[in-house]
């Protein structure tokens, strides 16, 4: 092991222990409708959190409705994946002298650890690991009639192994007068990440995801505006693509969470849509037979 590897092993060895901390799941949502001239506000935040093995996921959802607007926010966290959704609609009636604001936000977080095992290498060896994450969804959708403004934002961040291996992605769009020049679109899709991990030790990982959707209907003639930020499809750990030690590739490795059992080597797999089993289809066919016989 060279000097750099020895230093890394010392740093990581002091930061982690063979026994992993309990995985953390957290989801938050907030939705509100405000009529500025009447100073009325509807909505309140909700949150749900848990630590495995008591809980293996967390979810929060909230909706607020008023005669001049509606909002909805939902978030959920599960092993290896986060989901967040925020939408709103503002309606300004004819001859209404005030403004209508709708705002919604949702965020989710997941924390866990995994034990990296590599064939031919003992505990304490530092390895360079590459992996992927996926950010999928529909973002920054908006429409309207009349004088309206919108501001929509999303962000996602990932830290693996140590604070030195942190990654962040975000997107922002607004037609607020004060923010015409601040549009920023970070591409969705698959992202590549790299980090150092210690073989035989608990290597920590944390993921965070959030969305915000704000709609404002201006004073003046009637109209409406609406917008949606939907990263409900997922911000997910995609799996480990390679492990190397001292530049040499490791052909056999594993990275299981001792707490949740999640396979960080394989990554998150969305649950398939259930299909009716053969027995259920047969039962349905038998139920239809008497009806066909009568006809």
Give me the residue spans of the domains in the chain.
3-294
**CA–CA gap between residue 199 and residue 196 (Å, rounded):** 10
Q: Can you read off the two tokens belonging to residue 150?
A: 């919108």
Residue with tokens 């996926």: 134
Residue with tokens 């290896």: 80
What is the separation of C-alpha 11 from the centre of its chain, rounded to a whole number of angstroms?
Answer: 30
Q: Model's pTM, two decimal places?
A: 0.79
Residues 191 and 167 sit within 8 Å (Cβ to Cβ): yes
Residues 255, 199, 189: CA angle, nearest 5 degrees: 45
**CA–CA gap between residue 51 and residue 20 (Å, rounded):** 12
Q: What is the mean pLDDT of each run of 10 residues along the chain (295 residues)?
A: 38 34 69 55 64 73 76 88 88 67 86 94 95 89 76 91 84 66 69 95 93 78 78 93 95 93 93 54 44 40
**CB within 8 Å of 194: residues ≥ 6 apart:** 128, 129, 130, 131, 165
pLDDT, tens only, 75-133: 888 999 999 988 888 877 665 556 777 888 888 899 999 999 999 999 999 999 999 99
Bridge partners (DSSP) listed for residue 184: 172
Residues 26 and 111 sit within 8 Å (Cβ to Cβ): no
């Amino acid at each position: 092991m060279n000097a750099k590897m020895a230093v890394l092993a010392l740093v990581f060895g002091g930061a982690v222990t063979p026994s992993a901390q309990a995985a953390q799941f957290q989801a938050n949502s907030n939705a509100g409708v405000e009529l500025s001239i009447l100073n009325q506000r509807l909505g309140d935040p909700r949150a749900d959190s848990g630590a495995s093995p008591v809980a293996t996921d967390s979810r929060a959802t909230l909706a607020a409705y008023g005669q001049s607007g509606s909002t909805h926010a939902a978030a959920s966290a599960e092993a290896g994946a986060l989901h967040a959704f925020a939408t709103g609609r503002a309606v300004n009636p004819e001859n209404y002298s005030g403004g209508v604001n709708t705002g919604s936000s949702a965020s989710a977080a997941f924390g866990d650890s995994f034990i990296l095992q590599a064939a031919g290498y003992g505990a304490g060896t530092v390895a360079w690991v590459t992996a992927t994450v996926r950010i999928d969804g529909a973002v920054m959708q908006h429409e309207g009639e009349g004088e309206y403004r919108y501001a929509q934002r999303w962000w996602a961040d990932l830290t693996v192994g140590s604070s030195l291996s942190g990654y962040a992605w975000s997107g922002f769009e607004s037609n607020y007068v004060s923010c015409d020049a601040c549009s920023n679109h970070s591409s969705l899709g698959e992202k590549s990440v790299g980090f150092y991990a210690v073989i035989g030790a608990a290597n920590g990982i944390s993921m965070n995801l959030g969305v915000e959707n704000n709609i404002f209907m201006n004073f003046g003639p009637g109209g409406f505006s609406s917008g949606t930020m939907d990263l409900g499809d997922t911000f997910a750990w995609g799996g480990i693509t390679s492990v190397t030690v001292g530049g040499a590739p490791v052909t056999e490795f594993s990275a299981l969470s001792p707490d949740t059992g999640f396979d960080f080597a394989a990554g998150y797999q969305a649950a398939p849509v259930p299909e009716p089993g053969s027995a259920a289809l047969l039962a349905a066919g038998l139920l239809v037979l008497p009806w066909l016989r009568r006809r």
